[in-house]
Each structure stands twice: as structure tokens, then as C-alpha cells.
Amino acid sequence: MRFRSKLALQFLALLFSGVLFIAGILVYSFTESFDHLLIRLEGDRISRIVSDISYMARQTGFSFREEGWQTQLQAYARYSNINIVVLDQDSRIQARYEGLTKHSDQKLEVNSYLLVDAKQKELGSLLVTHDLNNPEYRQLRENFQKGALGSLALVASLFVIASFLLARSVSRRVTEPIEELSAQTARLARNDYRITPVPSKVREIQTLSANLAYLAHSLEVQDQLRLDYAQDISHELRTPLTNLSLELEALRDGLLTFDDEVAEHLEANIHQLTTIVEGLKESFDDAAQVNHFHIQPVNLTQLSEEIAASFEGAVAQKKGQLLRTLEPALNLETDPKLYRQILTNLLSNAVKAIEPGGTIRLNLSQGKKGIIVTVSDNGVGISKKALPHIFDRFYRVDSSRNRKLGGSGLGLSISKNLVHQLGGEIYVSSREGLGTSFQLTFPQDNH
Ligand code: ADP
């Protein structure tokens, strides 16, 4: 059953049972009050008859045997639908007049009334029996119940029709956005990311809709990244593979003879493939890698100096200098192997970037929240256009120098990933032709 129908039905059922309940209570209490009214009216009627008889007894005196009285009392009994028993002063029955109609549901009530003469002398008494459930009243009550039920039924049906219309509009208002949201999720499942916010005044639905739009956007970005990534990988793998197959073909066709140089070429291509595959593995945000961490207290000053020293040869080849400003004995809980990998990558990029005679600076200092490592150079710098992309996988600044040096474009993306895994951040600033500066921050309370 559709959510909308279910909601409307439940709403209706609730209203309907409420209306039924209230109608029941109303009919019951109306009938009760009407019964009380009838009983009071019946009492009044009997009192009036008795007071007529008493009045006559006072005025004319009372004689049981007098024919006039007998006719009179017989007439009262018959026309008033009552039984009258006349008793003398000694409570002996003197006469009986029966006018009560008999039926199965009789509810008889007997009352006794004293008869006195003008001097207040007791003449005898009357026992009057009347039926509280007499057919006339029963008819009246039934008519009343019918009338009350009829009008209540009319009001209730009007109410139910109104509630039906209300239930429909309320359930539509609640379910329409939900149906729209569910249609959107179905579209999302088919990779259709065109999600527009669903208008609704219900806050939860607004939040759900906003979250769905956000999810769609992230999925779209992820999808695009996946696509780009797949294209990048196949593109990167293609070059060494093509080289290998061309070289092997030439060997097989006898166009090339296998010598040291050919072996070197083959090895170089295989090496490039291995580097790409290894790099790819590392550049993924693989949770399993966390298990390979060896977080330990590290004297970062000492380790940074060691790494810097290993670059002396490469810097010297470029006739440059690597200046260090390292705050002494800075300690950090980190993985020294990963830290070495990050700093090595930044320093080797800097060495590649500087012109002969250029300068590289390595700074290590204690910041407010943690340790700050800066690697800067006065090398070629990075253009504004390229700067936002240098942490992307396989991104290489397209320059003739880079083409000559032939990096994989994975170094910085791996570094960024490793820095994040160590709980730190990496920032870059650069100006083309002036130099580049990478800054790493490692919070000290992170581990
Ligand atoms: P690669 O392994 O090809 O060096 P990276 O991810 O390490 O790849 O670097 C990405 C791009 O950023 C490269 O094209 C490189 O030229 C450029 N780059 C990195 N560091 C510097 C730097 N210090 N100065 C100028 N360009 C740099």
C-alpha cells in the first residue's frame, strides 16, 4: 500500500473512531437526561391528578360509595393510564380502579397520598400505581433517540467527509516530498546526479533533501575522480608498455640485436612500470597502511639533519647549497620511515627545481600547536595555473625540464597522503621564476 494512502487511512480511522466515540457518549448522555426529564414529567402528572382529587375531597367531602366519586376516579384511572386504590382511615381497601395498560417492560411505581377534608380531618388515602415505562413515553424516548442519532449521524458524516478531504491534503503534503526524494535516490542509483532540493516546510525533509544533494554532489565528484584516475593510470602505463613491446618486436624481427644497451632500455621501462605500480599502491588512502605504522618518539631535529645530509651530494652536483635552520631536540611521536619518505620527496623536488648555484632551505621549528617543517627553494617555481593541481595523482608541470627529468607525478600526492596519515597538513606557496615553499605541520597532541 502506498505511504500516502496508508497515512490518509490511518488519519481517517483515527478521526472516525474519535467521532464514533464522542457520538456514543453524546447519545448516551442525551438519552439519560431525556429519561430523567420524562420521569420528572410523569411525577408532575401524577401529582397534578392527586392534587385535583384532594381538592375535590376537601371541597365536597369524600365518600367511597358515592357514585359520582366512583365515576370520577374510574375516569382518572382510565384516561391517565394509572391504577388507583382507595383506602379508608384504617388502611382497608375500599375500591380499586384499573386503567394501567399492561405490557412486558413495565416499570411500576406506587405512591401513597393522604386525603383530608376541609378541617384537615383524615378521610382515607389513595395508592396510585403508574408505569415509568409506559408506551407513550417509550415512543417519545424512541423518537428522541432517533432524532438525536439522526442529527449526530449527519454531523458525523459531514465531519468524516471534511476529515477525508483534510487527510488527503495533509498526507499529500507529507508524502509528496518523500516520494520525490525516493525518486531522486532511485535516479542516484542509476548514476544520475541531477538532484534539486525538494521544497518542503518540514525541517527533517529539508535536511534529508540537503543531505541527498550533498551526497549526489560527492558521488559525482568521486565518479569523475575515478574516471580521471582510470584514464591517468592507463595513460601512464601505456608509455613504458609500448616501449617494451616495440623493443621486443624489433628484437624478434632482427632489427635490433640484444646487447647491454637494449637490456638497459628494457630494464628502464620495467623499472618505470614498477615505480608506477608501487607509487599507485602507496598513493591510495589504504586503511591497511595504518597497520604498518611504527609510531614512536622521534628526535625530528636529528632525523631531518640526517635526511638533509644525504642530499649534500645531489646539491653539490648542482653547485647549490642546502641551508638548515633546525631548532635543537624537537621530539615528535611519528613514524620515522614515513617522515623520511615525505622529506626526501620534498628535498628531491627542490633539488630538481633549483638552477645551478641555487639555494634550498630546510627549517624546523616549534609552532603553537605542533612542529613546523619548511622546505623552500629559489628554483623555477610553479605557475598559478599548475599550483592547485600539484598534489593530484600523475600531475606534472608540463615543462621541457620536467620532460627531461621524467618524474611519475605521484610524489606529492603520496607525500600529502602520508602527511595526512601522520595527522599533519601540507601547504604550498610558489611564484613562477622565484621559488617554491612547502610547509608541513604535525600536531604534537595527535598521538
Ligand atoms: P614528480 O614525481 O613528477 O616530481 P611530484 O608529484 O613530486 O611528481 O610533483 C608534481 C609536479 O610539481 C612536478 O611536475 C614538479 O615539476 C612540480 N614541483 C614539485 N616540487 C616543485 C618545486 N619545489 N619547485 C617547482 N616545481 C615543483
Nearest CA to ligand 1 atom 14: 396
Q: What is the pLDDT of residue 97?
A: 93
Residue that the C-alpha cell 595504518 belongs to: 290
Choosing from 272, 362, 397 the residue with most ligand 1 atoms within 8 A of its CB, the one to mutate for a pocket test is 397
Choosing from 390, 401, 418 the residue with most ligand 1 atoms within 8 A of its CB, the one to mutate for a pocket test is 390
Q: What is the pLDDT of residue 39?
A: 85
Q: In terms of Cα–Cα distance, which of 192, 251, 249 is closest to 219?
A: 192
Q: In terms of Cα–Cα distance, which of 342, 360, 338, 366 is closest to 443?
A: 366
**C-alpha 276 to ligand 1 mean position (Å):** 16
Q: What is the mean pLDDT of residues 83-87?
A: 92
pLDDT > 60? residue 296: yes
Q: What is the mean pLDDT of residues 399-426?
A: 78
Phi-psi region of 4 (alpha: psi -120 to 50; beta: other; left: phi over 0): alpha
pLDDT > 80? residue 405: no
**C-alpha 218 to ligand 1 mean position (Å):** 28
Q: What is the mean pLDDT of residues 309-331?
A: 93
Q: What is the mean pLDDT of residues 208-237?
A: 82
Q: What is the pLDDT of residue 446?
A: 45
DSSP class of residue 101 equals P
pLDDT > 50? residue 288: no
Question: CA torsion sign, 382 to 385 to 390 to 393?
Answer: negative
**Spatial separation of the C-alpha atoms in residues 202 and 364, rounded to whole Å:** 53
Q: What is the pLDDT of residue 411?
A: 85
pLDDT > 50? residue 289: no
**Spatial separation of the C-alpha atoms in residues 105 and 181, rounded to whole Å:** 66
**C-alpha 429 to ligand 1 mean position (Å):** 13
150: three-class secondary structure by DSSP: helix
DSSP class of residue 63 equals -
Atom of ligand 1 nearest to the CA of 379: 24
Q: What is the pLDDT of residue 43?
A: 87
Atom of ligand 1 nearest to the CA of 398: 14
Name 44's Cβ contacts closer than 8 Å, sequence gap at least 6: none
The 3-state secondary structure of 343-401 reads HHHHHHHHHHHCCCCCEEEEEEEECCCEEEEEEEECCCCCCCCCHHHCCCCCCCCCCHH
Q: What is the band of 328 on the pLDDT scale with cuts at 50, 70, 90? A: very high
Alpha helices in 190-297 (DSSP H): 203-252, 260-283, 287-291
- 182-193 pLDDT, tens per residue? 999 999 899 888
**C-alpha 390 to ligand 1 mean position (Å):** 7
Q: What is the pLDDT of residue 410?
A: 80
**C-alpha 236 to ligand 1 mean position (Å):** 16
**C-alpha 126 to ligand 1 mean position (Å):** 126
**Spatial separation of the C-alpha atoms in residues 30 and 13, rounded to whole Å:** 25
Atom of ligand 1 nearest to the CA of 413: 6
pLDDT > 80? residue 61: no
260: three-class secondary structure by DSSP: helix
**Spatial separation of the C-alpha atoms in residues 10 and 31, rounded to whole Å:** 31
Q: What is the band of 341 on the pLDDT scale with cuts at 50, 70, 90? A: confident
Choosing from 348, 355, 396 the residue with most ligand 1 atoms within 8 A of its CB, the one to mutate for a pocket test is 396
**Spatial separation of the C-alpha atoms in residues 215 and 203, rounded to whole Å:** 18
Question: Measuring from each residue's beta carbon to the nearest atom of ligand 1, which residues come in under 6 Å?
Answer: 345, 349-350, 353, 377, 379-382, 390, 395-397, 402, 407-413, 436
**C-alpha 366 to ligand 1 mean position (Å):** 27
447: three-class secondary structure by DSSP: coil
**C-alpha 56 to ligand 1 mean position (Å):** 131
